[in-house]
Amino acid sequence: MKKYFLFIVILLLISIPNTSYSECDWPLVPVTFTVPYPIPEHPPLTCNVTIHYCCHWVPGWKLEVKWLDYFEGESLCLMYVTDWQAFMDWVYLQIANHHVCIEAYPPCDEPEAGFITTEVHIAQCHYFENKLPPAPGEIDYFLHLYPCGYENECIYYYRTCYNWPWPDWITEFDHSEIVGTPDCPSSVPELPPQGKTWNEYWITRCFENQCQ
């Protein structure tokens, strides 16, 4: 009887879908970078945000495709964020402006050379998870944002070229596209959830990302 019960438990665990995209399957390249986020409500306070995304270069089309995996930041710093939609829009822009998968460098001053199209794929539904880092001995909790799935998504398109006199990428927003209909509430859940603090584990329901 015990063996049968254990088998059922294992079967249930295997059948639970993994809604967070913590790995990039080939040919996607995993990318991680950290950038300071200036808290508009509390200048000059900034929070270091580590962004994880997957990218893929399509050479024939001069196309750079990216998918947001997740981001994380120290909870006791991100607790000062009051406009989460503005914060997430900032995260998406950081991904669009971060170029490591590109293998072509069309110059901005030569229109005939064309430009690179950068696609940034963002799930329409996300959830927050507040947890300790995996390293032993850590005591500071970090807030994470994970996608609930990519069945419905927002796709942001950017035009990118390289400014040769000043070695820098120039990325401009072009347009966006909505794929599917979100099947999650539109309101951002209360952070931290009622009865919880920033110094303990918790997870929220999924909520809708407002496509721009």
Residue bearing the bigger pLDDT, 60 or 181: 181
Residue 17 above 50 pLDDT?
A: no
* Exposure letters 123-157 (e unless 16+ CB within 10 A, then b): bbbbbbbbbbeeeeeeeebbbbbbbbbbebbbebe
pLDDT digit string (tens) for 64-73?
A: 999 999 999 9
- From residue 94, alpha-carbon distances to 13, 36, 37, 196 in Å are 35, 10, 10, 30
- According to the model, what pLDDT value does residue 167 have? 73
- According to the model, what pLDDT value does residue 113 have? 81
* Exposure letters 51-84 (e unless 16+ CB within 10 A, then b): bbbbbbbeeeebebbbbbbbbbbbbebbbebeeb
Left, alpha or beta for 180 (phi > 0: left; psi -120 to 50: alpha)? left
- According to the model, what pLDDT value does residue 85 have? 87
- According to the model, what pLDDT value does residue 23 have? 61
pLDDT digit string (tens) for 18-55?
A: 334 446 887 789 999 999 999 988 889 999 999 999 99
Query: For the whole model, what pTM was predicted?
Result: 0.83
